[in-house]
Amino acid sequence: MASGLPLRHPAQGFNASQQLIKSDRGNMLAMSHDNVMMKQIVGTHAPNGIEVDVKPLLHLVKEILTRATTQINISQTTSQAQAELEETTYPDSFFKMLNALAYTIEKISKEIDYRVLNGTDVHATTISLFNMLAIYSWDAKLVLTLTSFASFYGVPWMISQISSTNKLAESMACLKQLPDPKDSSAPMNLLFDGINNLIIIMMDVTWCVVEFRDLPTSYISQEVPALSTAMAHIPTAVYWTLRSVVVCAAQIRSINQIGDKFSISTTSEWELSTLAHKLSNILEHLRKQLDVCNEYIDEKRNVENISNAEESI
């Protein structure tokens, strides 16, 4: 009796199996490469106990990058952009800390700029940053690198934005071959859309990592699975964020070098979107673990409050 199922030539089944095997091998090789890479990253980590108050620094970075990105986001009005930003007052202690970190921040900027100009491989450049920041905690590595990037990204846009009303800024913009912020050409918009999207995700990942650091150790320890899982993934999050900074810097540098003849390549567009997708997945995973950690802390606090209330009766 006919089964009613279409007959398949044996070779078809063999080819499908071969493709599956090749796919599995590819995935295994990718996983093996990632494991080797992360061992290399963790191997550079040698914190010496230096504490960096990263939150105020991250707030400053947010102000700079938000003002820079909203200026070139034509979908936002000026009033919308201003409404999203609140003026922040920084204490004297913040400026003392900033002064102490200024050399490191500048060194990061010069390292990225030098390697980008010399066409150094993105991974090699990222590793050089990890070596440079070996003594800092994972969250400090993120914030210091983003601070350096904010300086790199913010200054040119500040000059570009005031160049129409300030002759000095106009001359500086010409000297540095800065893009016109009013340029609405499709390639330019496409590139900055990709960069801005990646910047937003980089900032979100960084804030998430900082939140893990701020979890109260009196209520949660790394023996809690959610926290231990997150801590194991944080080096990966830091690597891909720093790598994204390097890629963004390289893309911006390419605009300055090419100027009016700029056109975004398919490779550049793919690289930005791939990094954004990668970081989005990492962020989603970390946020899930953070939610579990916060729920655990809330439960511990509730138990503590109930216990204290019973003792006071």
Q: How many domains in the chain?
A: 1
Summarize pLDDT for 234-271 with one digit per residue, the tens: 999 999 999 999 999 888 877 655 545 555 556 777 88
The interaxial angle of helices 186-213 and 54-71, nearest 10 deg, is 160
In a domain, 30, yes or no: no
Contact predicate 209/142, CB 8 Å: yes
Tell me how far apart the alpha carbons of residues 201 and 69 are, in angstroms, rounded to a whole number. 13
Structure tokens at 47: 């914190």
Q: If you average pLDDT over every residue of the chain, what do you get?
A: 79
* Residue 14, domain member (yes or no): no
DSSP state string for 146-171: HHHHHHHHHHHHHHHHHTTT-HHHHH
Q: Which residues contact 188 (CB under 8 A, 6 or more apart)?
A: 179, 255, 262, 264
Whether residue 245 is contained in a domain is answered as yes
- Region of 119 (left: φ > 0; alpha: ψ -120 to 50; beta: rest) is left
**Burial, 68: exposed, middle or buried (Cβ in 10 Å; 0-12, 13-18, 19+)?**
buried
pLDDT tens per residue, range 49-95: 888 999 999 999 998 888 776 544 433 333 333 444 455 678 888 88
Residue among 132, 86, 97 nearest 242 (CA)? 132
| H helix runs in 72-218, sequence order | 78-83, 92-117, 122-132, 138-162, 167-175, 186-213
pLDDT digits (tens, 9 = 90+) for 122-178: 999 999 999 999 999 999 999 999 999 998 887 666 666 666 677 776 677 666 666
Lowest average pLDDT, out of 32-36, 95-99, 243-247, 287-291, goes to 32-36
**Which of 109, 146, 143, 147 is CA-nearest to residue 128?**
109
- Binned at pLDDT 50, 70 and 90, residue 283 comes out as very high
CA atoms within 13 Å, Cβ hemisphere of 24: 6
Asked whether residue 270 is domain-assigned, the answer is yes
Question: Is the residue at 224 inside a domain?
Answer: yes
Cβ neighbours for 296, distance < 8 A, ≥ 6 positions apart: 219, 220, 224, 226
Assigned domain for 55 exists: yes
Residue 237 lies in a domain: yes
Query: pTM for this structure?
Result: 0.79
Q: What share of the chain is helix, strand, coil (3-state, %, to 5)?
A: 75, 0, 25
In the chain, % of residues over pLDDT 70: 69
The model's confidence at residue 13, banded by pLDDT at 50, 70 and 90, is: very low
Range of 264's domain?
A: 49-300
Q: What is the pLDDT of residue 35?
A: 81
Q: Tell me whether residue 88 is in a domain.
A: yes
